[in-house]
Amino acid sequence: MNYRHGYHAGNFADVVKHVALVAILTHLKKKDAAFAVIDSHAGRGLYDLAGEAARKTGEAANGIGRLRGLVPPLPPALAAYLELAGEGPYPGSPLIAARLLRPQDRLVAIEKHAQEAAALRDVLAPWRKASVEEADGYARLPKLLPPPQRRGGILMDPPFEAPDEFARLAAAVRAAHRRFANGIYLIWYPVKAPAEAQGFVGEVLAGCSGPALTIEIAIDAPEGRLSRAGLLVLNPPYGFAEEMAAVLARLEPALAARTRLEQRAE
Ligand SMILES: C[S@@+](CC[C@H](N)C(=O)[O-])C[C@H]1O[C@@H](n2cnc3c(N)ncnc32)[C@H](O)[C@@H]1O
């Protein structure tokens, strides 16, 4: 394993992904009925932004580090994200979810790599509603679907280390959607070659009916670093597109970013 999220935690792409996650979970909490969150590629859950990895890339400084001075009023999801992530060690997606869930809700966080899974277990130990599985997220996810609660969100955020990761991810999303068509799916992807990213989105959308949207964000990054990333959201909650448009309008100047949001209504 080469990929370590500690080098990238809190960067521009993490910021957008995590605000979207907060918006989705906030929506799910509007009803009393319990819901499930499944994080198929969860990471270690907490990242020291003052540590060597984060300082080496400087990515967090150009992401969350640029947001601390944002002046209210902020869109609610952005304000809630900053409350969770604005100070101290940076929370990864499973910790953000654990902090937002109610006693009746459940989180399953899947992480393949032993060290990361062990660290995540420690981070999530205080939350009885959260469990960590050391497993291959692609193999494990379909076995967890549909969740007993029959409502919930699925985050798929692989490291894109393997050359066939787009193909594997597209197949996994389609298979998951067949088992749980009503779930809200939040899928992260890098945009290194735009045609490849577009092909991935097209392949997923062709296999998954229903409303969907994509968000892309681009920054001017140093040579060799990721400068553009996307989110594909299947079954986005009511009002999500409008809220994310307001979030992006605040993030653009703060991160010196360009963004794009496109919807498919069905
Ligand atoms: C981009 S990071 C996850 C970041 C996390 N979702 C967040 O937002 O805080 C991807 C993680 O997936 C893990 N991973 C790699 N291959 C995996 C697989 N097949 N199944 C589950 N986890 C995997 C990596 O060890 C890494 O921790």
pLDDT in tens, 8-40: 999 999 999 999 999 999 999 999 999 999 999
- Whole-number Å distance, alpha carbon 72 to ligand 1 midpoint, is 33
Q: Ligand 1: which of 19, 39, 113 to mutate, judged by most atoms within 8 Å of the beta carbon?
A: 113
Q: Which long-range contacts (CB under 8 A, 24 or more apart) does 126-134 make?
A: 127/98, 127/101, 129/98, 129/101, 129/103, 129/105, 130/94, 130/97, 130/98, 130/101, 130/106, 131/106, 131/107, 132/42, 132/94, 133/108, 133/109
How many CB atoms are located within 10 Å of the residue 265 CB?
A: 8
Q: What is the pLDDT of residue 109?
A: 98
Q: For the chain, which residues make up each domain, given as ranges?
A: 5-189+207-264
Asked whether the predicted pLDDT for residue 112 surpasses 90, the reply is yes
Asked whether the predicted pLDDT for residue 155 surpasses 70, the reply is yes
Segment 96-119 shows an average pLDDT of 98
Give the dihedral of Cα atoms 110, 114, 117, 119; nearest 10 deg: -170
Alpha carbon distance 259, 157 (integer Å): 20
Residue bearing the CA closest to ligand 1, atom 17: 112
Q: Assess whether the C-beta atom of 133 lies below 6 angstroms from ligand 1.
A: no
The band of 266, judged by pLDDT with boundaries at 50, 70 and 90, is low
48, 136, 157, 220: which one is catalytic?
157
Q: Assess whether the C-beta atom of 41 lies below 6 angstroms from ligand 1.
A: yes
Q: Assess whether the C-beta atom of 177 lies below 6 angstroms from ligand 1.
A: no
Assess contact for 18 and 90: CB atoms under 8 A.
no
pTM for this structure?
A: 0.98
- Whole-number Å distance, alpha carbon 17 to ligand 1 midpoint, is 14
Q: What is the pLDDT of residue 1?
A: 63
Asked whether the predicted pLDDT for residue 54 surpasses 80, the reply is yes
Q: Which long-range contacts (CB under 8 A, 24 or more apart) does 199-205 make?
A: 199/166, 200/166, 200/169, 200/170, 201/230, 201/232, 203/170, 203/174, 204/170, 204/173, 204/174, 204/232, 204/234, 205/232, 205/264
Asked whether the predicted pLDDT for residue 102 surpasses 90, the reply is yes
What homologous superfamily is domain 5-189+207-264 in, according to CATH?
Vaccinia Virus protein VP39 (3.40.50.150)
- Whole-number Å distance, alpha carbon 143 to ligand 1 midpoint, is 18
Residue keyed to tokens 């993490």: 14
CA dihedral sign, ordered 75, 77, 78, 80: positive
Residue bearing the CA closest to ligand 1, atom 4: 43
In the chain, pLDDT over 90 holds for what percent of residues? 94
pLDDT tens sequence across 233-243: 999 999 999 99
Is 105 designated active site? no
